[in-house]
């Protein structure tokens, strides 16, 4: 019975993919980002002039919560002049004057692989984001490669390309692929994808003095950046779908409609919980608590957590704050079971140990960190709660002021 349900599920997905196969650009474009970064140079001929250094790139959404991938060298023009007061703006699916722009924030990077993860700050009432599906370049047979595509932005223009594979290697970048396509400035970070919109890589740029070729970073290398976001494995997803949607039978409504109903239901369950987090001076831990607002229904059994610290840095005479690499917690993805539950207060608690020690170790590695007693401005927490029956609820984001006594 399970095999039949799984076959039907995958068959319907195949039909949906086939329906959009002839127009991959239209499917991908709403998930594209035109990225601008601005800053005030500290060095060079424009030193001190606000917003006189600018950089552009393309990115794309990888999660409904607004996380996006792009290339790390997007920030190089600003780093080369020691820019301060840096800000990032993103427009969605379009470019040019009059297109709404949203603030974006740096989350983490893999500099040696030229990859960066951003978070786009969208208003609460913004339409749901349609992230792109990340595949793997390992599925591409170099001897019989499929037709692949790319789309992104150069200056204020939207660009599309039909691409063929040149070599699954690059003379300049050992881990990258070489593609037969000419690209313009600003298209770095554009997704490279198959007919059904599955991303297999990101455009990095062109080889030196060869404008007819482009270099692609296989998306496989982004896993360390996005693994905490892609927290559910396929087998678990199918099991959860069967638990909630049930086995497919003749006469059932389309699966998209049923999955939307499931998503709406999970969002409604998520609204029944109020979340807080505090730091403990007693043992250096971080305590995450939820309070159940409505009687009955499921409890939270575990949470998966990402913690991004914002360290205070000295920048000349100024003090700025900067997002540091996410803390390395106990597992990947870091998952924590509930430690206790108070039935009177209807409150559950999770304890994340050794957070102060990890923050202290990170602080000591940064030469221009502002001295104690308060080296960190706050901690950005990204939490995915899971109920006792294994269903993941919509993510929760918290800002926590670390109130530790620093050694």
Highest mean pLDDT among 32-41, 115-124, 262-271: 32-41
Q: E strand or H helix at 256, and its extent? A: helix 255-270
CA dist 216 and 170 (Å) reads 9
Query: Tokens for 387?
Result: 């109920």
pLDDT at residue 10 is higher than 50: no
pLDDT at residue 53 is higher than 80: yes
Q: E strand or H helix at 377, and its extent? A: strand 376-387
CA dist 395 and 68 (Å) reads 16
Fold of 1-230: Thrombin, subunit H (2.40.10)
167-190 confidence digits (pLDDT tens): 998 988 988 999 999 999 999 999
Q: What is the pLDDT of residue 333?
A: 58
Q: What is the pLDDT of residue 212?
A: 93
Q: What is the pLDDT of residue 325?
A: 84
pLDDT band at 21 (very low <50, low <70, confident <90, very high): very low
pLDDT at residue 56 is higher than 70: yes
CA dist 281 and 278 (Å) reads 10
If one counts every other C-beta atom within 10 angstroms of the C-beta of residue 276, the result is 13
* For the chain, domain boundaries: 1-230, 255-400
Alpha helices in 21-46 (DSSP H): 24-28
CA dist 297 and 157 (Å) reads 50
Q: What is the pLDDT of residue 182?
A: 95
C-beta contacts of 397-401 below 8 A and 24+ residues apart: 397/65, 398/275, 398/276, 398/277, 398/288, 400/277, 400/278, 400/279, 400/286, 401/279, 401/377
293-326 confidence digits (pLDDT tens): 766 667 889 999 989 988 888 888 888 888 888 8
pLDDT band at 331 (very low <50, low <70, confident <90, very high): low
Q: What are phi and psi of 160, to 5 degrees?
A: -130, 150
E strand residue ranges, 102-168: 102-110, 115-120, 148-154, 157-167
Q: What is the pLDDT of residue 265?
A: 61
Alpha helices in 24-99 (DSSP H): 24-28, 76-79
Position with higher pLDDT, 392 vs 110: 110
As beta bridge partners, residue 167 has 178
Treating both helix axes as pointing N-terminal to C-terminal, what angle do 2-20 and 234-244 enclose, rounded to 10 degrees?
Answer: 110
pLDDT at residue 376 is higher than 90: no
pLDDT band at 360 (very low <50, low <70, confident <90, very high): confident
Q: What is the pLDDT of residue 327?
A: 87
131-172 confidence digits (pLDDT tens): 999 998 888 888 888 899 999 999 999 999 999 999 998 988
pLDDT band at 343 (very low <50, low <70, confident <90, very high): confident
Position with higher pLDDT, 192 vs 332: 192
If one counts every other C-beta atom within 10 angstroms of the C-beta of residue 325, the result is 11
Q: Is 98 left (phi over 0), alpha (psi -120 to 50) or beta?
A: left
248-299 confidence digits (pLDDT tens): 566 665 655 555 655 666 666 677 788 999 998 889 899 999 998 766 667 8
Torsion sign over Cα 222, 224, 229, 234 = positive
| Lowest-pLDDT choice from 57-66, 87-96, 333-342 | 333-342
pLDDT at residue 202 is higher than 80: yes
If one counts every other C-beta atom within 10 angstroms of the C-beta of residue 328, the result is 12
Cα angle, residue 338 at apex, residues 333 and 340 outer, rounded to 5°: 160
Q: Do the two domains 1-230 and 255-400 of this chain adopt the same fold?
A: no
pLDDT at residue 387 is higher than 90: no
Q: What is the pLDDT of residue 345?
A: 82
CA dist 56 and 70 (Å) reads 11
CA dist 294 and 152 (Å) reads 45
pLDDT at residue 81 is higher than 50: yes
| Lowest-pLDDT choice from 9-23, 222-236, 366-380 | 9-23
Task: Round the average pLDDT of the chain to a whole number and report it.
Answer: 84
pTM above 0.95, yes or no: no
Q: Are 92 and 30 in contact (CB under 8 A)?
A: yes
- For residue 50, the SS3 value is coil
Position with higher pLDDT, 259 vs 29: 29
pLDDT at residue 106 is higher than 50: yes
Q: What is the pLDDT of residue 264?
A: 62
Q: What is the pLDDT of residue 15?
A: 46
As beta bridge partners, residue 67 has 119
Q: What are phi and psi of 12, to 5 degrees?
A: -65, -40
CATH (residue range 255-400): 2.60.40
Taken as a whole, the chain contains a residue count of: 407
Q: What is the DSSP string of 200-232?
A: EEEEEE--TT-TTEEEEEEGGGGHHHHTTTS-S
What single-letter DSSP state applies at residue 15?
H
pLDDT at residue 16 is higher than 70: no
Question: If you average pLDDT over residues 216-237, what whole number do you get?
Answer: 71
């Amino acid at each position: 019975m399970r095999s039949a349900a799984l076959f039907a599920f995958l068959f319907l997905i195949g039909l949906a993919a086939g329906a959009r196969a002839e127009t991959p650009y239209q499917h991908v474009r709403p998930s594209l980002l035109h990225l601008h970064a601005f800053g005030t140079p500290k060095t060079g001929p424009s030193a001190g002039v606000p917003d006189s250094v600018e950089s552009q790139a393309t990115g794309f959404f990888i999660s409904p919560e607004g996380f996006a991938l792009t290339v790390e060298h997007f920030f190089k023009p600003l780093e080369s002049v020691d820019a301060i007061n840096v800000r990032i703006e993103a427009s969605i699916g379009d470019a040019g004057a009059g297109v709404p722009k949203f603030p974006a924030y740096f989350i983490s990077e893999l500099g040696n692989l030229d990859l960066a993860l951003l978070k786009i700050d969208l208003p609460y009432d913004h339409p749901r984001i349609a992230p792109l599906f990340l595949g793997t370049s390992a599925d591409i047979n170099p001897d019989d490669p499929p037709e692949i595509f790319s789309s992104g932005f150069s200056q204020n223009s939207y660009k599309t390309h039909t691409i063929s594979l040149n070599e699954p290697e690059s003379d300049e970048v050992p881990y990258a692929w070489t593609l037969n396509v000419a690209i313009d400035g600003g298209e770095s970070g554009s997704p490279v994808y198959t007919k059904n919109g599955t991303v297999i890589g990101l455009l990095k740029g062109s080889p030196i003095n060869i404008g007819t070729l482009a270099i692609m970073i296989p998306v496989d290398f982004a896993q360390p950046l996005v693994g905490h976001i892609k927290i559910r494995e396929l087998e678990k997803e199918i099991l959860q779908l069967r638990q909630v949607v049930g086995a497919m039978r003749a006469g059932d409504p389309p699966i998209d409609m049923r999955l939307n109903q499931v998503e709406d239901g999970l969002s409604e369950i998520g609204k029944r919980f109020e979340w807080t987090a505090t730091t403990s001076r007693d043992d250096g831990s971080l305590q995450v608590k939820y309070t159940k607002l409505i009687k009955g229904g499921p409890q939270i059994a575990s949470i998966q957590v990402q913690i991004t610290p914002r360290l205070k840095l000295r920048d000349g005479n100024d003090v700025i704050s900067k997002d540091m690499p996410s803390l390395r917690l106990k597992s990947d993805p870091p998952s924590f079971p509930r430690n206790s539950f108070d039935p009177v207060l209807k409150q559950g608690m999770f304890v994340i140990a050794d957070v102060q020690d990890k923050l202290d170790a990170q602080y000591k590695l940064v030469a221009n960190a502002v001295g104690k007693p308060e080296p960190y401005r706050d901690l950005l927490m990204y939490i995915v709660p899971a109920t006792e029956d294994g269903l993941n609820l919509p993510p929760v984001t918290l800002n926590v002021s670390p109130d530790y006594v620093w050694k």
